Amino acid sequence: MRVIIAAAGTGGHINPGIAIANKIMEKEPDSKVVFIGTDRGLENDLVPRAGYELKRIDAYGIQRKLTIQNFKNLYATYKSINVAKKILEEEKPDVVIGTGGYICVPVVIAAKKLNIPVVLHESNAFPGIAVKLFKKKADKILVGFKEAKDRLKDANNVIVTGNPIKIKRIELTENEKRKIKTDLGLNKEMFTVLAFGGSQGARSINRSLIEIIVNKKNKDYQIIWAAGPEQYKKIQEKLEELNMDINNIENVKIVPYIYNMEEVMNASDLVICRSGAMTITEIACTGKPAIFIPYPYATENHQEYNAKVLESAGAAKIILDKDLNSEILSRTILRIVQNKEELKNMSEMALKKYIPDVEEKIYDEIQGLLK
């Protein structure tokens, strides 16, 4: 199979593309997969690191306002259609796969000009502009959530496959959970809250957690907190001003980044985080009760729509970023910590929302199209 994958910008677009590529190569080792991205996004790191060739075009997301820069970006994206067309003519793919975002626009237009089959994958519960734009032109649209399908009622061939993710459920024994906590320098028996805001951290979450720690509101639970490399230094300085050592806080472990996130998430009892599509899917897969603080500036507010997928199922709580403070966060945590029955129900409801064998389903849909 010869495949072009259009994926650019953030890990939420690129990682699903890599997961799809890996499944294709696993099933058909003689395949050739080439990515199309830009010279600006995370694809420049993630795609070569995954072992795939990356070809670049000059495409941009379009802002909904009249500016000279926006017109320049629009013109550059329009010109990139021909560049994408040349790449497709050289590579002669059997199928073009787009994982959402602005990069899909020139690549899908080029593919349709050349009569190459197009498969789109939408990871968010609220479909993005690119997917909505091509909902009747794509040969298949694969979605991560049923809620996305419900919002694409007039689209052709929408199939719920789920989202491909890195972090999966591990059936840890109690001894294994205790060891993971001990290795982190935490109490092996204590209720454990995992907090993170993505690879760069989240300032509003960090701010509220600092106040919880400083005021010692976490006596009934311990926190493993991935603050993000940039935010970690600022938190360290803030705690030093309060005569607190970041490496020596009771019931708290603060780190810049968690490298063994799969183990730590599976060993934790509750998760506090943003609500990107991949994170939501990982929470469902691991069956972890969650408190979501959706990123308020996400395109079309898609993080709030993602969070509602698990909240409406009874698996999560949502605190909007504008409402977030240490008092509300502390109260929400304690309510869950102190209610073991609710904790159990939230976990069960999360697991019910997970769709298994995602990569296999996506591969089968691609194969079905080509046959």
Query: Does residue 199 register a pLDDT over 70?
Result: no
Whole-number pLDDT of residue 69: 82
pLDDT at res. 326? 96
Check residue 74 and give its pLDDT.
84
d(CA 302, CA 33) in angstroms, rounded, equals 29
Give percent of the chain above pLDDT 70: 99
Mean pLDDT across 330-356:
97
Domains of the chain plus CATH, in order, are: 2-162+356-370 (3.40.50.2000), 174-353 (3.40.50.2000)
Mean pLDDT of the chain: 94
Nearest to 346 by CA among 318, 368, 367, 369: 318
Per-residue pLDDT averaged across 27-44, rounded?
96
Tokens for 95? 């199928």
Residue 275 has pLDDT above 80, yes or no: yes
User: Cα–chain-centroid distance for residue 137?
Assistant: 26
Average pLDDT over residues 113-122: 98
Residue-wise pLDDT tens digits, 63-100: 767 788 888 888 889 999 999 999 999 999 999 999 99
Q: Measured at the alpha carbon of residue 66, what is the angle toward residues 60 and 70, in degrees to the nearest 5? A: 20
What would the mean pLDDT of 290-295 be, rounded to a whole number?
96
Angle at 156 between CA 151 and CA 157, to 5 degrees: 95
Check residue 255 and give its pLDDT.
95
Sign of CA dihedral 176, 232, 300, 55: negative
Q: Measured between alpha carbons, how far is 71 from 176 in angstroms, rounded to an integer?
A: 56
> pTM higher than 0.85 for the full model?
yes
Measured CA to CA, the distance from residue 171 to residue 163 in angstroms comes to: 21
Q: What is the mean pLDDT of residues 304-309?
A: 98
Closest CA to 229 of 190, 265, 274, 199: 199
Closest CA to 193 of 19, 343, 93: 343
> Residue 189: what pLDDT?
95
Residues 6+ away with beta carbon under 8 Å from 339: none
Q: How many CB atoms lie within 10 A of CB 150?
A: 12
